[in-house]
Amino acid sequence: MAAKSRQRILSGMRPSGRLHLGHMHGVLDNWRQLQNQFECFFFVADWHALTTNYDRPWTIPASIDDMVLDWLAAGIDPQKATIFVQSDIKEHAELNLLLSMITPVSWLERNPTYKEQQQQLKERDLATFGFLGYPVLQAADIIMYKANKVPVGVDQLPHVELTREITRRFNYLYRDVFPVPEAMLTEVPKLPGLDGRKMSKSYGNSIYLNDSEEDVARRISTMVTDVERPRKSDPGDPANRCVAFNLHRLYMEKSRLAEIEADCKAARIGCVVCKKELARAVNSAMEPLRERRREFAADPGTVKRILAEGAEKAREVARNTMEEVRQVLFAGPAGSGGKNDAGDKE
């Protein structure tokens, strides 16, 4: 397929420091496949991180590097995808400003994510202009690259919907500059944390992509198993009652998985041994990640260089988009052949 006709994909993550297996299976596996098929832009949304961390912005730069190293370890390939940091491309701020002029406040206030997050992060004052405008900046991120598809988790759907509305409004008011992007829903396999709750950094129940073999073995050994099976002689019900078994499903060979299930049900296998075997399987799946991390981390300048190159590619697209946008907005009816040529028709 000719490069030009390829669909363009854009997605981003806020820099939250090191990533865990939930990110791996939820997002990064998906990105890694997409980069082979589409023209991909993957970026670090560090300005978005400011909306909730404005009281300690100095913690953000280290988180960026840690996260990008995890991306690279997970197989996101700078030869295939453009990897960059939002704040390196100042055009995002300009487009954000222009879009903010045409976005009704009511659209932002009714955004469910906005209300939820304000509830959840009660200890922080999120009644800021920047936080309310979070989805406008996200719209700028997306349409800057004229992305067709935005792979995201279900929690991000309201944001992408707002992007679509803002895009339509822009195209209607001025000219048909931007494709209306579509969300591409990322399937998240059920991957609970060590304690059975959702895997999340804030619960301290995660297995991290940069965990050593020993870390992984130790964490898995603490994983919750079938609570109705305190002794090895009690028959288990792994599929319904064992948290660890969710990892077995992802990491064990099919045939071995069936054996474990049968052995557990028949009380032929104990949890300690069973989880040791699981840890070995997880560790061997993580070995290629560790190998890539070692390569990328060997030279501390590597991540910086990759981000600089990515920024250059992204900037070229962003500059072109902004030239077009300024032209459409400000060159006036004669110059732009804009929508409201007659000036006072509407």
Residues that bind ligand SF4 (CB under 6 A): 225-226, 229, 236, 238, 242, 244-245, 260, 264, 269, 271, 274-275
- Matching residue, tokens 């948290």: 243
Q: Is 48 in the site for ligand TRP (CB under 6 A)?
A: yes
Pairing mode of beta strands 81-85, 149-152: unpaired
Terminal Cα distance for the chain, rounded:
43
Tell me if 35 sits within 8 A of 71, measured CB to CB.
Answer: no
Identify whether the C-beta of residue 46 lies closer than 8 Å to the C-beta of residue 85.
yes
- What is the nearest approach in angstroms of ligand TRP to the Cβ of residue 127? 19
Give burial (CB, 10 Å; 0-12/13-18/19+) of 248.
buried
Q: Does 13 bind ligand TRP (CB under 6 A)?
A: yes
336 part of the interface to ligand TRP, by CB under 6 A: no
| Token pair 């992305």 in the structure block, residue | 147
Exactly one of 96, 138, 148, 283 binds ligand TRP (CB under 6 A); which one?
138
Per partner kind, with CB cut-offs from 5 to 8 A, the member of ligand TRP, ligand SF4, none near residue 50 is: none
Of ligand SF4, ligand TRP, none, which one does residue 111 interact with (CB within 5 to 8 Å by kind)?
Answer: none
Among 9, 19, 21, 45, binds ligand TRP (CB under 6 A): 45
Q: Are 271 and 238 in contact, with CB atoms under 8 Å apart?
A: no
Residue 26 or 236 with smaller CB distance to ligand SF4:
236
The residue range among 149-157, 165-173, 246-254, 306-314 that interacts with ligand TRP, by the rule CB under 6 A, is: 149-157
Q: Which two tokens stand for residue 83?
A: 């990897």
Single-letter code of the amino acid located at 148 = N
Stretch that binds ligand TRP, among 90-98, 134-142, 215-223, 230-238 (CB under 6 A): 134-142
DSSP 297-314: HHSTHHHHHHHHHHHHHH
From the list ligand SF4, ligand TRP, none, pick the one residue 103 interacts with, judged by a Cβ distance below 5 to 8 Å according to partner type. none
CA angle 305–66–221, rounded 5-degree value? 145
Shortest distance, CB of residue 160 to ligand TRP, whole angstroms? Answer: 7
- Do 242 and 226 form a contact (C-beta atoms < 8 A)? yes
| CA nearest to 337, candidates 322, 319, 324 | 324
Instruction: Tell whether residue 14 is a contact of ligand TRP (CB under 6 A).
Output: yes
Q: How far is the CB of 189 from ligand SF4 (least distance, A)?
A: 17
Sign of torsion over alpha carbons 71, 74, 79, 82:
negative
Among 156, 186, 206, 336, binds ligand TRP (CB under 6 A): 156
Q: How many residues bind ligand TRP (CB under 6 A)?
A: 14
Report, in Å, the least distance between residue 249 CB and ligand SF4.
10
Q: In the complex with ligand SF4, which residue's Cβ is closer, 97 or 272?
A: 272
- Could you list the residues that contact ligand TRP (CB under 6 A)? 10-14, 45, 48, 138, 141-142, 150, 152, 156, 159
